[in-house]
Amino acid sequence: MAENMDDMQEIVQDFLVEADELLEELDEDLVRLENESEDEELLNKIFRAFHTIKGSASFLGFEKLTELTHKLEDVLNKLRKFELKLNSDMMDAILGGVDKAKEIIGLIKDGGDPESVDIEENVKQLVSFLDENYKPEEKSEDKAEGVMTEEELVELQEQEVMEEEAESEAEAGESEEEKPKSKDEIEEEIERLLKQRMEEDKEKRLKRKEKILSEMQKKQATESSEKKDDETKAKNVPEKKKKPVMAKKSKPIVEQTIRVDVQRLDDLMNLVGELVLGKNRLVSVAQKADEKFSGDEVVEELGEVANQITLVTTDLQMGVMKTRMVQIGKVFNKFPRVVRDISRELNKEVELIIEGAETELDKSVVEEINDPLVHIVRNAIDHGIEAPEDRVKLGKPSKGKIVLSAYHEGNYIVIEAADDGKGMDPEKLKEKALEKGLITETEARQMSKEEAFALIFKPGFSTAEKVTNISGRGVGMDVVKTNVEKLNGIIEIKSEIGKGTKVILKIPLTLAIIQALLVKVTKEYFAIPLVSVVETVRITKDDIDKVENKDVLRLRENIIPLVYLGDTLGVGKNRKTLDEKEIYVVVVAIAEKKIGLIVDELIGREEIVIKSLGNYLTNIKGISGATIMGDGSVTLILDVANVINEASIISANIEDHLIGGYKKEQPVALVASRELKAKNDLVSALEEKGYKVVYAHTDKEALDLASEHIADIVFIDLSIYINDGYNLAKSLRSMPAYKVTPFVAVSTDGTYDNEKLKESRFGKLLFAPLEKDEVYAAIEEVMSRNILVA
Amino acid sequence: MNGKDVDLFDKSLALNADMEEELARKNRKTDTIIMKDEYDQVVGFVLNNELYGIDILDVEEIIKPVDYTYVPNTKPFVMGVINLRGKVIPVVDLRVRFGFVPNPINADSRVIIVAHNEYNVGFLVDKIEKVYYIEKKSIEPTPPNIPQNIEKYVKGVGKMPKKIITLLNIEEMLKEGGSLTPKTGSAMEVVNNG
């Protein structure tokens, strides 16, 4: 029994997936049908789709869905036999029916009652077309929505006859005008003509039907003969058979596919992620080995292996990524329907052009991109495209144009939505924002064109005078921003008054494995997703300008706010790490915002695998995740959107972090030792020599202290925790303030590694227990040597 | 008692002298079989010169402190995150967590990696003692002399013949989270309570 239930469940699941796909295609096909109502193949395809859904639905006992699709099928059946002619009312009814079907399927999916949906209205509408008496009126397109009654139809016909009469009269010319008729006579005449006309119509219709039928027969006959011909030819020229079909239909040939659970792909992606980490590690080990034992045969072989693994891993990664890729057409294909509905509602004429629908991107990205695009297109039709009569006045074609296009650019997919509407006026936007209190007057004055365009993303901003159900609430563009931010994407807006607006979205192709720029701030490394990085620049202290006591950088024609990355993360307090002659700025952008982040050091570019910080550390401000580097250390990934937001409320200035800004009254010594005895000996000796001593017990502490106090001399216990003293010295040497500072090593257990000492440029090695004289001598020695170097 | 159902206590697992002594005494006196499920196994560790215990089922492994990466915008007791065989795991300084003076890492310091429900967290402790067997019926509710800031995280106190051990409530400690902006943390609590 339970098994039966499971089986049933599975069948329903399959049905839902199939129905979803069919309905999605239907939307697209139906809109296409509106323009190509004679396309028999298309009609048949739509008919088949309804038929399939009806069949499965009745098998599974979804009565309402069966009834609805049955009626839809009937209408389509008449349409494809050309017994009915498609008009926009009919199209509305069919689309309405499709929407209802979607609703029912949604209910089945969510476990609701699929029979609770009210389909009476839809069925009634559809049935009315099936009625023998239903007269397809070619002119009814101009009429308002709704189904016409018989009376209306007759009226309409009468009207037409009158019009036609008037025309023929006019054509006939003066002769008729000369013989005016009495009222009765006219009415009589009308009656007579009407009858005649109706007869004629009937005949016409019959004829047309016959014509169509004969045409169809002819077509079938020719087709079958063609087929025969083809079949005979097929053996000789197999390609020829395909070509005419291809030309007729731009649709690709059905590909061979299998359905795969997304979860499996995710798992696979995770495994590849682990592999990439392993590969990074292998490469780093191979490099280290090469540095150490250069020329050794085994090391060379290791290098080769590492290279090969790198290649294969990259290919594998691409392969797995590709299996997760879907065409953006999946999203784009919904838009003909969206555009049709909105433009009809607003009485605008809009033509939608889709380019690059075959561009592929990660499934998870596709899911997030739909909503923003709907809002953008909606906005374009509502605010961008002018009413047809206005367009004509402006000398534009009455039909507005929206171009949705997608293409790849490096590791991004670029999606553009361009309209040829009225464009945006930056001044008007500023005014509106001022009015709503979203910006201040000074802000408005300093605002560039791009920044003014970006105002539309502020929540609560709307230029619409009235709230309609299409737009005006000021929510839409905020949604766009939030979703794009979530994807680490960038939004750009280009607009020209009178010419149109173009919204450009740049979205990373995949979310799991990304390229990142590694930077260093204080003692920590951070990875900035490369998609958010616009450029990196090296500046000096003099390049920094001030606007209202905030640091900014003039970069070409742009003014970019500058902040110290450490400040935005709350780790920058009292840190003096910047060399005023060499300040590194990473210009980052998220959605519509751009900012310059100052870092201590640029490390390089690396491929990283995003890992979560786990359940214990959720929602950390400024951090979106972590990754594991080739050397096994953990590096945090910046949440650029959050950092940019944080930057606006930071009061600290760049000067606070300049090494030159460190004020000291007496020389400073940094002592890093885990041994209390050694530490005490050193401290007392140094203090006697007039040093201010800062003391660290671990290497982490030492690095923190070293950036808070610029020491003149450093004593390092070689056995310090957590990593040893050699590594600490290396880290210190990489800080600009400690490039030439004298280092003294202290060995508490008598062991030392001369190579490593040299590498980190220790000036002297002491052994515990320490004698005061020894320490004095060491200070003297390293200080004098330092002067010589300088 | 049905002999087949009884999982006999494996004496070789009894690592501590206390336990062995007790076993010997019991065996001498009553000749009863000691059942495994009458005992809790806990990992005993020292913090600020006191003995604490974490249920062994919650402990994944114990490691020496390794280099960690500081995470900004976390609570002060979060030292940072470490890489444990490809997994990123947060490490909490338990001394700071309980309001003791922080003790710099030394040769005895260890990190207890705890795996509980969906959580994976490391706790830095002063020293690991050993695995203790605590008789279930000798576990008593938290006595009043436990400092208030710790009380919340104490499940009970286990009495052993020669010493007592404070048993920690891991669940309580984990669900608070280490982020300064626990937006999802509160939602997590609801889930756990429900």
Q: Given an 8 Å threshold on Cβ–Cβ distance, is B86 in contact with A622? A: no
Side chain identity, residue A207? K
* Residue pairs between chains A and B whose CB atoms are closer than 8 Å: 115
Report the residue of chain B nearest A621, measured CA to CA.
B73
Side chain identity, residue A468? T
Judged by a CB distance cut-off of 8 A, whether residue A723 touches chain B is yes
Side chain identity, residue A778? A
End-to-end CA, chain B = 37
Q: Among positive and negative, which fits the CA dihedral A463, A469, A474, A476?
A: negative
pLDDT band at A488 (very low <50, low <70, confident <90, very high): confident
Q: Residue A125 in contact with residue A93, Cβ under 8 Å?
A: yes
Q: Given an 8 Å threshold on Cβ–Cβ distance, is B83 in contact with A613? A: no
Asked if pLDDT for residue A112 goes beyond 80, the answer is: no
Write the pLDDT tens digit of every residue in A256-301: 778 888 788 878 887 888 888 888 888 888 988 888 888 888 888 9
Q: Residue A790 in contact with residue A740, Cβ under 8 Å?
A: yes
Q: Given an 8 Å threshold on Cβ–Cβ distance, is A618 in contact with B69? A: no
Q: Where along chain B do its domains lie?
A: 3-175
pLDDT band at A238 (very low <50, low <70, confident <90, very high): very low
Q: What is the pLDDT of residue A312?
A: 92
Write the pLDDT tens digit of every residue in A2-21: 556 667 777 777 788 888 88
Q: What is the pLDDT of residue A153?
A: 55
Q: What is the pLDDT of residue A202?
A: 67
Judged by a CB distance cut-off of 8 A, whether residue A697 touches chain B is yes
Could you give the dihedral angle defined by the CA atoms of residues B133, B137, B141 and B146, in that order, rounded to the nearest 10 degrees?
-40
Q: Given an 8 Å threshold on Cβ–Cβ distance, is B78 in contact with A615? A: no
- For the segment B23-32, the average pLDDT, to the nearest whole number, is 57
pLDDT band at A178 (very low <50, low <70, confident <90, very high): very low
Structure token pair of residue A98: 């499709």
Phi, psi (rounded to 5 degrees) for B125: -125, 165
Asked if pLDDT for residue A23 goes beyond 50, the answer is: yes
Q: Residue A501 in contact with residue A423, Cβ under 8 Å?
A: yes
Question: How far apart (Å, rounded) are the C-alpha atoms in residues A205 and A199?
Answer: 10
Lowest mean pLDDT among A330-334, A665-669, B178-182: B178-182
Asked if pLDDT for residue A422 goes beyond 60, the answer is: yes
Q: What is the pLDDT of residue B36?
A: 63
Question: How far apart (Å, rounded) are the C-alpha atoms in residues A584 and A597?
Answer: 8
Q: What is the pLDDT of residue B61?
A: 93
Task: Supply angle C-alpha A586, A590, A593, rounded to 5.
Answer: 85
**Which position among A333, A379, A488, A642 bears the catalytic label?**
A379
Q: Given an 8 Å threshold on Cβ–Cβ distance, is B71 in contact with A613? A: yes
Taking every pair of C-alpha atoms in chain B, what is the biggest distance, in angstroms? 59
pLDDT band at A586 (very low <50, low <70, confident <90, very high): very high
Q: What is the pLDDT of residue A216?
A: 60
CATH number of B3-175: 2.40.50.180
Write the pLDDT tens digit of every residue in A126-155: 888 777 666 655 444 444 444 445 555 555
Taking every pair of C-alpha atoms in chain A, what is the biggest distance, in angstroms? 137
Judged by a CB distance cut-off of 8 A, whether residue A676 touches chain B is no
CATH number of A2-148: 1.20.120.160
Q: Given an 8 Å threshold on Cβ–Cβ distance, is A620 in contact with B121? A: no
Q: Residue A746 in contact with residue A770, Cβ under 8 Å?
A: yes
Interface of B with A (CB under 8 A): 65-74, 78, 80-83, 86-90, 104-106, 118-121, 174, 177-185, 188
For residue A596, give how far its alpha carbon lies from the nearest alpha carbon of chain B (Å): 20
Asked if pLDDT for residue B92 goes beyond 50, the answer is: yes
Q: What is the pLDDT of residue A168?
A: 52
Q: What is the pLDDT of residue A472?
A: 47
For residue A279, give how far its alpha carbon lies from the nearest alpha carbon of chain B (Å): 13
Question: What percent of chain A lies above the pLDDT cut of 70?
Answer: 80
- Alpha helices (runs of H) in A516-658, residue ranges in sequence order: 565-568, 640-647
Pick from B81, B90, B179: CB nearest A619: B179
Pick from B82, B86, B90: CB nearest A617: B90
- For the segment A701-718, the average pLDDT, to the nearest whole number, is 89
Burial B91-106 (b: 16+ CB within 10 A, else e): bbbbbbbbebeebebe
Partners of A528 in the β-ladder: A517
Q: Residue A462 in contact with residue A472, Cβ under 8 Å?
A: yes
Asked if pLDDT for residue A163 goes beyond 70, the answer is: no
Which tops the pLDDT comparison, A381 or A221? A381
Q: Given an 8 Å threshold on Cβ–Cβ distance, is B67 in contact with A621? A: no
Which residue has 């009429």 as its token pair? Answer: A143
Asked if pLDDT for residue B187 goes beyond 70, the answer is: no
User: Which residue out of A275, A277, A616 would a mutagenesis test of the B interface target, given it has the greatest number of B Cβ atoms within 10 Å?
Assistant: A616
Burial A376-387 (b: 16+ CB within 10 A, else e): bbbbbbbbbbbe
Question: How far apart (Å, rounded) are the C-alpha atoms in residues A329 and A405?
Answer: 10
Give SS3 for A175.
helix
Q: What is the pLDDT of residue B176?
A: 83
What CATH homologous superfamily does A327-507 map to? Answer: Histidine kinase-like ATPase, C-terminal domain (3.30.565.10)
A722 preceded by a cis bond (ω within 30 of 0): yes
Measuring CA to CA, how many Å separate A25 from each of A20, A21, A246, A329, B183? Answer: 9, 6, 19, 11, 40
Contacts of residue A222, Cβ cutoff 8 Å, sequence gap at least 6: none
- Alpha helices (runs of H) in A236-362, residue ranges in sequence order: 238-248, 262-292, 297-323, 329-332, 335-345
Among A469, A44, A25, residue whose Cα is nearest residue A251: A25
A379 is catalytic: yes
Side chain identity, residue A596? G
Measuring CA to CA, how many Å separate A33 from each of A36, A350, B109? Answer: 5, 16, 74
DSSP state of A383: I
Pick from B69, B73, B118: CB nearest A620: B73
For residue A525, give how far its alpha carbon lies from the nearest alpha carbon of chain B (Å): 9
**Which position among A51, A226, A351, A368 bears the catalytic label?**
A51
Side chain identity, residue B179? S
Write the pLDDT tens digit of every residue in B111-124: 999 998 888 999 99
pLDDT band at A175 (very low <50, low <70, confident <90, very high): very low
Write the pLDDT tens digit of every residue in A612-637: 888 888 888 889 889 888 777 899 99
Asked if pLDDT for residue A242 goes beyond 50, the answer is: no
Side chain identity, residue A533? V
Question: What percent of chain B lies above the pLDDT cut of 70?
Answer: 74
Question: How far apart (Å, rounded) are the C-alpha atoms in residues A222 and A244?
Answer: 14
Q: What is the pLDDT of residue A234?
A: 44
Write the pLDDT tens digit of every residue in B123-174: 999 999 988 888 888 888 877 777 777 788 888 888 887 888 999 999 888 8
Q: Residue B132 in contact with residue B44, Cβ under 8 Å?
A: yes
User: Which residue out of A608, A617, A627, A730 would a mutagenesis test of the B interface target, given it has the greatest number of B Cβ atoms within 10 Å?
Assistant: A617
Question: How far apart (Å, rounded) are the C-alpha atoms in residues A358 and A363?
Answer: 14
- For the segment A724-749, the average pLDDT, to the nearest whole number, is 87
Asked if pLDDT for residue A648 goes beyond 60, the answer is: yes
Q: Given an 8 Å threshold on Cβ–Cβ distance, is B90 in contact with A623? A: no
Question: Which residues from A are below 8 Å from B89, CB to CB?
Answer: 614
Q: What is the pLDDT of residue A475?
A: 58
Instruction: Give DSSP secondary structure letters for A85-143.
Output: ---HHHHHHHHHHHHHHHHHHHHHHTT--GGGS--HHHHHHHHHHHSTT----GGGGGS
Question: How far apart (Å, rounded) are the C-alpha atoms in residues B123 and B113?
Answer: 6
- Alpha helices (runs of H) in A543-669, residue ranges in sequence order: 565-568, 640-647
Question: How far apart (Å, rounded) are the C-alpha atoms in residues A493 and A472?
Answer: 19
Q: Number of helices (H) and strands (E) in chain B: give both, helices first.
A: 5, 11
Question: How far apart (Å, rounded) are the C-alpha atoms in residues A538 and A542?
Answer: 12
A73 is catalytic: yes
The CATH T-level fold of domain A513-657 is OB fold (Dihydrolipoamide Acetyltransferase, E2P) (2.40.50)
Question: Which residues from B are below 8 Å from A672, CB to CB?
Answer: none
Asked if pLDDT for residue A311 goes beyond 80, the answer is: yes
Mean pLDDT of chain A: 79
Asked if pLDDT for residue A597 goes beyond 90, the answer is: yes
Which tops the pLDDT comparison, A531 or A224? A531
Measuring CA to CA, how many Å separate B62 from each of A91, A759, B66? Answer: 69, 34, 12
Partners of B190 in the β-ladder: none
Phi, psi (rounded to 5 degrees) for A575: -85, 125
Q: Residue A541 in contact with residue A579, Cβ under 8 Å?
A: no
The CATH T-level fold of domain A664-789 is Rossmann fold (3.40.50)
Q: What is the pLDDT of residue B4?
A: 40
For residue B164, give how far its alpha carbon lies from the nearest alpha carbon of chain A (Å): 30
Residues 631-670 in A contacting B (C-alpha not used; CB under 8 Å):
632-636
What does chain A come to in residues?
Answer: 790
Asked if pLDDT for residue A340 goes beyond 60, the answer is: yes
Question: How far apart (Å, rounded) are the C-alpha atoms in residues A763 and A765?
Answer: 7
A51 is catalytic: yes
Q: Residue B52 in contact with residue B165, Cβ under 8 Å?
A: yes
For residue A620, give how far its alpha carbon lies from the nearest alpha carbon of chain B (Å): 6
Could you give the dihedral angle defined by the CA atoms of residues A37, A40, A46 and A50, in that order, rounded to the nearest 10 degrees?
120
Contacts of residue A218, Cβ cutoff 8 Å, sequence gap at least 6: none
Judged by a CB distance cut-off of 8 A, whether residue A612 touches chain B is yes
Instruction: Give DSSP secondary structure letters for A338-372.
Output: HHHHHHHHTT--EEEEEE-TT-EEEHHHHHHHHHH
Structure token pair of residue B192: 């756990």
Which tops the pLDDT comparison, B176 or B143? B176
Write the pLDDT tens digit of every residue in A253-262: 555 778 888 7
Q: What is the pLDDT of residue A255?
A: 59
